[in-house]
Chains A and B, each alone.
Chain A
Amino acid sequence: MLYIKCPYCGYRSQKEFAYGGDGTIKRPELNQNISDEKWDEFVYFRKSPRGKHIELWHHIAGCRQWFQVQRNTVTHEIFQTAKMGEDIK
């Protein structure tokens, strides 16, 4: 069981959260020409690292806020959680 610290509510059980995937993916800028390559990278391509991973979680059965989590994908150790827009290493 993961024990995740929501930046708004504090520590809660994994069961209250929904996963939101890779948190480092940036949508291409709006109102500019987007190459097929850039669009593919945004939609489909993922690094999926073995080790530290920055990802999004949604406190869906709580405050319903999205936030960032830095977690180890091998040991599931959670190093840091942060609000959206805040710096995360």
Chain B
Amino acid sequence: MQKYSIFSLIKNAFSNHEKWDLAWKDPTPKKEYDVVIIGGGGHGLATAYYLAKEHKITNVAIIEKGWIGGGNIGRNTTIIRSNFMYDDNAKFNEFGMNLWRNMSQELNFNVMFSPRGIINLAHSDAQMNAYARRGNSMRLNGIDAVLLNREEVKKIIPMADFSEDVRYPIFGGLAQPSAGTARHDAVAWGYARQADSMGVDIIQNCEVTGFDVSAGKIQGIRTSRGDIKTKKIGLCVAGSTNVLAEKLNMTLPIETHLLQACVSEPVKPILDGVVTFGAGHFYISQSDKGEMVMGGDLDGYNSYAQKGNLPTIQHVLTGGIALFPFLSRLKMLRTWGGIMDMSMDGSPIIDKTHIEGLYLNCGWCYGGFKSVPSSGWTFAHTIAQDKVHELNEGFSLNRFSRGYLLDEKGLGTKTWIS
């Protein structure tokens, strides 16, 4: 594989950049693989990469119905954080933060990881207390957390509305300075290119139409491009998990919902990090190009549409303008939507199943992007060793029956209000 560097850039400039190697091949599916990963998004590509790199399993195929990187890896708002209260979530995502820090070097692809920090705003004394508790829990797990008072928040985001007669006056906030953003599509290309170079077959435009299960064991899959034999399948199809689970006669603690995001026209730098305004159902960051990247609530009813309705965007931006009045002067460039696996406690599932050789990676709700490296790493371990790693022990499928929920927000099973 050609290494990307300043030297290869100069060298290829002499041939008008017409002789670059393909970043990954377009293979026809083989008859049999050791492991088949279904879903060529961030999680699937990362899983295949770590299977090859950490476990030396290279006879792997990634089966993707559309094109790689066409789902939520290219639709999210690129936020990377580990500001969780519960141990299982905190340790898992902090492990991921370390992978993020080295990702550009490791993948030889600039993912533009930018640890610019995140602030969750608080609007009451009670919320400040809750954030103090969450911050303390984070610090016990080695994650940087800083409780900010009103004046400290004002120094960071002076353009926010700090008047005292607003519906949600800013009391302070909880910051994680090491959180940040990255270029989301580069993460997909980086993992895909490295996985391909180690022998993984990335098979696009190939729909899974059925599973071959006998005696409780996975024997293979049926696809639109022929049958493929395999003993192990990793399902990484957040957003369509329920659709494939139905083909396996499985029902899961997951509902599929639609989440929208939008960006404004680009403006000069005004916002340094990520700001979340939970009370107003709104969060925002500024991209390197200068666009304000914004999002908020789910559309609020089961949906596979991958495009949203206007009332939710209006609701989100109403909250946005309440916090940052200057937003009212900006034009919106685009809005889009993606479909989310909303799990019943807001935390993901990475586990084995009752079918031997079927491994499940799903339930990412709207926080899957930050977990791409840690999810791929632990899922690869789970598939290769046929047992869960201690980092994803808490993300078991049977935690609901056992009562060990990871309900970070404590919202109960109404996934659409998350």
Contact = CB atoms under 8 A, between A and B. Distances in A.
Interface residues of chain B: helix, strand, loop or mixed (majority): mixed
A21 B304 CA distance: 15
Interface string A29-51: 00000001100110111111110
Contact of B300 (A19, A37, A43, A49): A19
A64 interface: no
Contact of B254 (A2, A48, A75): A48
A48 B242 contact: yes
Nearest to A37: B401
Given A46-B255, A50-B240, A50-B243, 6 more contacts: A22-B255, A40-B400, A43-B400, A45-B252, A46-B253, A74-B303
B243 A44 contact: no
A47 B246 contact: yes
A53 interface: yes
A45 B301 CA distance: 16
Nearest to A44: B253
B353 to A, nearest CB: 14
B309 A1 contact: yes
User: Which among A14, A40, A55, A73 has the greatest number of chain B C-beta atoms within 10 A?
Assistant: A73
Contacts of B253: 44-46
B344 A49 contact: no
Contacts of A74: 303-305
B242 A44 contact: no
Nearest to B416: A19
A80 B303 CA distance: 17
B246 A44 contact: no
A14 B302 CA distance: 14
Closest 9 CB pairs of A and B: A44-B253, A48-B242, A48-B255, A44-B400, A45-B251, A19-B301, A44-B344, A50-B304, A74-B304
11 contacts: A1-B311, A2-B301, A14-B309, A15-B311, A21-B255, A46-B255, A48-B255, A49-B246, A55-B301, A73-B302, A74-B303
A40 B403 CA distance: 10
B396 to A, nearest CB: 13
A21 B309 contact: no
A12 interface: no
Contacts of A15: 311
Nearest to A36: B401
B414 interface: yes
B310 interface: yes
B344 A48 contact: no
Contacts of A49: 242, 246
Q: Which of A45, A49, A55 gathers the greatest number of chain B CB atoms within 10 Å?
A: A45
